[in-house]
Amino acid sequence: MTEKKHLFDEPKNVRRLLQVFFAALGVLLIPDFIFHKHTYFAWEEWPEFYPVFGFVACVVLVLVAKYILRPLVMRRESYYD
C-alpha cells in the first residue's frame, strides 16, 4: 500500500510557499517607509519598530513561561498516584 502524498511533501510546493511568504512580507514592509506615523515617542518612528518589538516581546514571553513559570506550576510525575 502506498502512502498518501500531502501538499507539502513536494519540495517544489514548500519553495513556492516560502516565495509567497517572503513576497507578502516585502509588500507589508513597504508602507512602513512610505506613510507617516503619528507617534507619541521618538523610538516609534524607527523603521520597522513594531515588528521588531513584537518579535522580541514574543521571545521574552516564551522564555519567561519556560524558565520561570513552568517550574512554579509543574508537579512531580507521581503527583496523581
Which residues in the chain land under pLDDT 50? none
How many other CB atoms are found less than 10 A from the CB of residue 50? 11
Residue 28 pLDDT: 87
Average pLDDT, the chain: 90
Contact 37, 45 (CB under 8 A): yes
pTM above 0.75, yes or no: no
pLDDT at 4: 87
